[in-house]
Amino acid sequence: MNPREIANNLFYVGVNDRQKELFENLWPLPSGVSYNAYLILDDKTVLIDTVDVCYSDVFLKKTARALNGRPLDYLIVDHMEPDHSGSIRLLRQQYPGVKIVGNSKTFGMLEGYHNITTGLHEVKEGDTLDIGSRALHFYMAPMVHWPEVMFTYDPKEKTLFSADAFGTYGTLDGGVVDAQMNVSPFMDEMVRYYANIVGKYGNPVQKALQKLSGLDVQTICSTHGPVWRERLTDAVSVYNRLSRYEGEEGVTIAYGSMYGHTEQMAEAIASALSENGVRNIAMHNVSKSHASYILRDVFRYKGLIIGSPTYSNQLFPEVESLLSKIEIREVKKRIFGYLGSFTWAGASLKRLAAFAEKMNWEVAGEPVEQKQGMSEDKYEACLRLGKAVADRLKEA
């Protein structure tokens, strides 16, 4: 329960959540998640963000221990999502004199969630807060991924407190700074986290990255996952690439299949992709793979192939659900192929074509539609579709 000093007079007072199964009640957490908060001790004491209310007891004890009898002067609220702001009311009760720092949008949410309207210190773009040997700088980062989000920068320690940006799923099992742990699992989970949580907001992320490009940042303190220092450049690169929708060379195949016939088509296409040089192939049965992992791979790879049987003259329901999630995230620049199957009346191909047009994606190859069981000519058509997608990937 002791706070961890991660830089000169900068303490980690966050917590780990190994209980929650679904983040936002949507996304699986097989390795849990951390809620990160940070305390700066200077002439003034400054806490940056809080934690989910479920862990307020541990958080408040860590904070009190780091303060070591000193009062808490400021709470900076970089992000109002409840997993970070949930303990604000209890914190105010414990430290009634604390001044809460945020922007105008922050304070609207602060009143709505906690009925707190007094003891506030509003900051705007480029404002600073003098706390002694440091002057903290504030940069607005709206829609990364909520409208009130802002970043706090400490030029003395060259540290950026980045709210949810550069965050990942996964608990911090022992270490806090990236140099203290094997970060490979976090780098993979960062892609899934981005695809699930931030994915729609590529343009705001790019604007935030451009705004910060002139700062000398040597440490990034996100609200989820490791503190980035040795692998800081890698973490920023992941966000830069994903927010540009620049997928790696590879193909995600997502299909629905009630009795295995659409799956056979997907298998044939995967075989053709492999035979034509595609090494990264992620296959997902939408009835088994959680959408969280399918979205991760949709963001990761340039190629996407969707297969669906016709179901009551519509798309297979889990395919329909996946397409809705992709559309919400406004994924751009994908090379798309599609296939469908039916027994007595086909509708899936038409609906997948309409989806591709809506997304403004490039369609590679000829779509394949299969009636009832696999025939030799449909098998060959699947191979041609796989080859066409592979060839287009090499050109992209």
Q: What does the DSSP assignment read for 43-104? A: SSEEEE----GGGHHHHHHHHHHHHTTPPP-EEE-S--SHHHHTTHHHHHHHSTTPEEEE-H
Q: Domain boundary at 243, 258, 273, which?
A: 243
Do residue 48 and residue 193 come from a single domain? Answer: yes
Do residue 179 and residue 257 come from a single domain? Answer: no
Q: Given this model, what pLDDT does residue 253 score?
A: 98
Do residue 387 and residue 272 come from a single domain? Answer: yes
Do residue 239 and residue 288 come from a single domain? Answer: no
- Alpha-carbon span 71 to 50, nearest angstrom: 16
Do residue 176 and residue 289 come from a single domain? Answer: no
**CATH of residue 123:** 3.60.15.10
Per the structure, the count of domains in the chain is 2
**CATH of residue 353:** 3.40.50.360
Do residue 224 and residue 308 come from a single domain? Answer: no
Do residue 18 and residue 139 come from a single domain? Answer: yes
Do residue 316 and residue 349 come from a single domain? Answer: yes
Region 36-61: mean pLDDT is 98
pLDDT in tens, 300-333: 999 999 999 999 988 999 999 999 999 999 999 9
Whole-model pTM: value is 0.95
Do residue 225 and residue 320 come from a single domain? Answer: no
Do residue 335 and residue 197 come from a single domain? Answer: no
Q: Domain boundary at 204, 221, 243, which?
A: 243
Kindly give, in sequence order, each residue whose CB lies less than 8 Å from that of residue 168, ignoring residues fewer than 6 positions away.
186, 187, 189, 190, 193, 222, 224, 225, 226
Average model confidence (pLDDT) for the chain?
Answer: 96
pLDDT in tens, 19-48: 999 999 999 999 999 999 999 999 999 999
Do residue 305 and residue 194 come from a single domain? Answer: no
Q: Domain boundary at 243, 263, 282, which?
A: 243
pLDDT in tens, 72-86: 999 999 999 999 999
What domain range is 343 assigned to? 248-395
Do residue 136 and residue 270 come from a single domain? Answer: no
